[in-house]
């Protein structure tokens, strides 16, 4: 149950004073219970309860007779509601509305942004997500786009594991109370481990479409492939053209890439990076007689 939210007690017309609480909770609707002091005027025949979602603007009024409490069972989670009560007399003659009170049935949980994270391939990491619910309700966690090798425990919000793949990952974390949620996004950067004393860059060869330095075609697309050999490990092979195109090849020690080209000569540069950060490059000029892109 949500803790009581006590409205300020203030004597108004017909000596009304209020207590507003949330008494139920579900995915569809919550129940807000309003209670007030009985008027000492023996001529009072009953009470009207006014309800709205904007201060001073009441969309509905409920006749509760001589009851001094009212349960509003259609409260949408997270929505603020405003209440006022008026006593009425035989006739009926409706008295002045009371001081307004307001309450929210179920406030959304809050997730703190953990900030950008960094890790090294092969080194274990751990991160605790921190979320809370204003009503003290239990929360659970979710996450998307974690670096490979890491996993979340939904019940506790702890992310742990050993990253396996270098890259920059845009992670979205979510906390939920089962009805409402909050999310935060941060970047988790994973880098390859530094190999002490390694200054040798990979050796690149281009074997497709030719082992030569130039190639002619009538197409606007060319497949380029070859090898990238290193004394440790090649982490990625990328390509760029002098016409502004770029991409990442498939594979590393043995790689292949599909490259778009334009009419005329196109200089395609292949770059290979090893786990120590050493980079080497090799270029091929492909001349196309085909239609420009």
Check residue 12 and give its pLDDT: 33
pLDDT of 111 strictly over 60: yes
Whole-angstrom distance, CA of residue 67 vs CA of residue 38: 9
φ/ψ of residue 108, rounded to 5: -70, 145
Range of weakest confidence among 20-24, 58-62, 109-113: 20-24
Q: Is the model more confident about 7 or about 131?
A: 131
Q: Is the model more confident about 110 or about 80?
A: 110
Q: What is the mean pLDDT of the chain?
A: 86
What are the pLDDT digits (tens) for 125-178? 999 999 998 878 899 999 999 999 999 999 999 999 999 998 889 999 999 988
What are the pLDDT digits (tens) for 13-44? 443 445 555 544 444 567 888 899 888 888 99
Q: What would the 3-class secondary structure string for the chain be?
A: CCCCECCCCCCCHHHCCEEEEEEECCCCCEEEEEEECCCCCCCCCEEEEEEECECCECCEEEEEECCCEEEEEEECCCCEEEEEEEEEECCCEECCCCCCEEEECCCCCEECCCCCEEEECCCCEEEECCEECCCCCCCEEEEECCCCCEEEECCCCEEEECCCCCEEEEEEEEEECCCCEEEEEEEEEEECCCCCCCCCCCEEEEEECCCCCEEEECCCEEEEEEEEECCCCEEEEEEEECCCCEEECECCCEEEEEEECCCEEEEEEEEEEECCCCEEEEEEEEEECCCCC
Check residue 160 and give its pLDDT: 97
Model pTM?
A: 0.46
**CATH code linked to domain 203-288:** 2.60.40.10
What are the pLDDT digits (tens) for 135-148? 788 999 999 999 99
If you average pLDDT over residues 108-119, what whole number do you get?
93
**CATH code linked to domain 110-191:** 2.60.40.10
Give span(s): CATH 2.60.40.10, the chain.
Answer: 13-104, 110-191, 203-288
**CATH code linked to domain 13-104:** 2.60.40.10
Answer left, alpha or beta for residue 244, where phi above 0 means left and psi between -120 and 50 means alpha. Answer: left
Tokens of 259: 């490259």
Q: Is 133 exposed, middle or buried (0-12, 13-18, 19+ CB in 10 A)?
A: buried
Q: Which residues pair with 172 in a beta bridge?
A: 144, 185
What percentage of the chain exceeds 90 in pLDDT? Answer: 62
What are the pLDDT digits (tens) for 208-218? 999 999 999 99
What are the pLDDT digits (tens) for 169-209? 999 999 998 888 999 999 999 987 776 677 889 999 999 99
Check residue 11 and give its pLDDT: 32
pLDDT band at 5 (very low <50, low <70, confident <90, very high): very low
pLDDT of 7 strictly over 50: no
Q: How far apart, in Å, are the Cα atoms of 162 and each of 69, 127, 193? A: 57, 12, 13
């Amino acid at each position: 149950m949500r803790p009581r939210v006590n409205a300020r007690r203030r004597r108004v017309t017909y000596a009304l004073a209020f207590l507003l609480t949330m008494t139920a909770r579900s995915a569809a609707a919550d129940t807000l219970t309003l209670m007030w002091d009985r008027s000492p005027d023996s001529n009072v025949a009953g009470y009207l309860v006014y309800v709205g979602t904007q201060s001073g603007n009441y969309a509905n009024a409920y006749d509760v007779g001589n009851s001094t409490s009212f349960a509003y069972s259609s409260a949408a989670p997270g929505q603020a509601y405003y209440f006022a009560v008026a006593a009425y007399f035989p006739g009926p003659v409706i008295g002045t509305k009371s001081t307004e009170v307001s309450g929210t049935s179920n406030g959304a949980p809050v997730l703190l942004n953990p900030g950008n994270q960094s890790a090294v391939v092969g080194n274990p990491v751990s991160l605790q997500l921190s979320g809370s619910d204003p009503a003290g309700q239990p929360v659970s966690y979710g996450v998307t786009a974690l670096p490979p090798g890491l996993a979340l425990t939904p019940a506790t919000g702890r992310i742990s594991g050993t990253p396996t793949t270098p890259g920059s990952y845009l992670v979205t974390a979510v906390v939920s109370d089962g009805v409402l949620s909050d999310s935060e996004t941060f970047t988790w950067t994973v880098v390859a481990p530094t190999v002490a004393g390694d200054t040798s860059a990979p050796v690149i060869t281009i074997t497709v479409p030719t082992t030569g330095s130039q190639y002619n075609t009538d197409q606007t697309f060319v497949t380029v492939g070859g090898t990238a050999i290193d004394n440790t490990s090649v982490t990625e092979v990328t390509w760029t053209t002098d016409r502004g195109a770029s991409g990442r090849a498939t594979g590393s020690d043995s790689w292949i890439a599909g490259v778009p080209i334009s009419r005329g000569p196109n200089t395609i540069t292949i770059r290979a990076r090893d786990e120590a950060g050493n980079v080497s490059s090799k270029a091929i000029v492909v001349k196309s007689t085909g239609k420009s892109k």
